[in-house]
Amino acid sequence: MTGFQKLCIVTCVIIFGLIILGGVVRATDSGLGCPDWPRCHGSFIPKWEKHTLIEYSHRLTASIAGLLVLSVVVVAGRSYRRVPAILYPSIAALALLLVQAGLGGAAVLNDLPPEVVAVHLGTAITILTLLLIITTAAFAVTKPMERLHASRQFGRLSLLALALTLPLMLIGSYVSGADYGLACNGWPLCNGEVFPSADAASVQIHFMHRLLAAVLGAVLLALAWVGWRHRRSVPFVTAFSLLALGVYVIQAMLGAANVWTELSGEVSGAHLAFATLLWCVLAVLNIRVHRLHQLLPLAPRPSRRSDLAGASS
């Protein structure tokens, strides 16, 4: 394993942890533990208080993540500047990280509006996805990856599952940020009804989250069934489709436990952790099946000097 590959893996892990820590901040109502930005209570050294330390640890982890992403860009610029599949996504990840920092500041300075919090999460997920693509490309550059000959049906289902997971996570973030987590009191029923009759926005948005989760569950079940039929020809596809279904089941149970425990901080944090893990599993699956790491060339581009030399000969 090369140093760059290790750097990419560590960066992915830190970004994953940063997303989870952001969920812990929301679950423990620590978002305003540092009411100003970029300082915390007017200082760069935080007070020794629970909510302040939780929020400050999130900011500190974000700083580490920023340095790691910057390192990825620097190495990509030095060693992979002629490999577009690595260089361009790394630049995009750094640009989004700057946007992410601005969104984090805006969230704090405007008392955590749920819309900004949801966009903040969406940007973090996009950065993580870009890093997963970069990591896959970094391995593919040193050793070409076997093409996965999955059926067209499997490819469509895997894309659909990924496409459903993103809005599910964003709506879930909005539900948490707007304090709609208990708008449906009970599970699986919503306030004692299969389809809630209440017109309140809190109930309708919460129910939309549950309904989308049910649709995703059906898609993942179909994906696992089709993936199982590939168990001899493409075992990677089978393993990841079953893994996605397993993570989803745990995630659904944690969603129910969120209501049963009246939004316990530990359960809420685990709920986001498994949602992010599900996204990662589906992202890696789609990257391999649809060869997303090869949307841009993996092979080094010839230099202008070599082009001129070839033309003159």
The Cα–Cα gap between 124 and 127 comes to 5
Name which residue leads in pLDDT, 213 or 308.
Answer: 213
Query: From the centroid of its chain, how far is CA 71?
Result: 20
- Single residue among 91, 117, 144 that ends a domain in this structure: 144
Query: From the centroid of its chain, how far is CA 28?
Result: 21
- Single residue among 117, 144, 171 that ends a domain in this structure: 144
The Cα–Cα gap between 167 and 207 comes to 14
pLDDT digits (tens, 9 = 90+) for 150-191: 899 999 999 999 999 999 999 999 998 888 999 999 999 999
Backbone torsion region of residue 144, taken as left when φ is above 0, otherwise alpha when ψ lies between -120 and 50, otherwise beta? beta
Which residues span the domain enclosing 86? 1-144
User: Do 64 and 176 lie in a common domain?
Assistant: no
Instruction: State how many domains the chain has.
Output: 2
Cβ distance 203 to 184 under 8 Å? yes
Cβ distance 30 to 55 under 8 Å? yes
User: Do 153 and 139 lie in a common domain?
Assistant: no
Which token pair is 151?
């059926």
User: Do 94 and 175 lie in a common domain?
Assistant: no
| Structural domain includes residue 65 | yes
- The CATH number given to whatever domain includes residue 223 is 1.20.120
Percentage of residues of the chain with pLDDT beyond 70: 93
pTM above 0.85, yes or no: yes
| Structural domain includes residue 311 | no
pLDDT digits (tens, 9 = 90+) for 26-59: 778 776 777 777 777 667 777 778 778 888 888 8
- Residue 132: count of CB within 10 angstroms of its CB: 24
**Range with the lowest mean pLDDT among 28-37, 94-103, 240-249, 261-270?**
28-37
User: Do 3 and 115 lie in a common domain?
Assistant: yes
Q: What is the pLDDT of residue 309?
A: 35
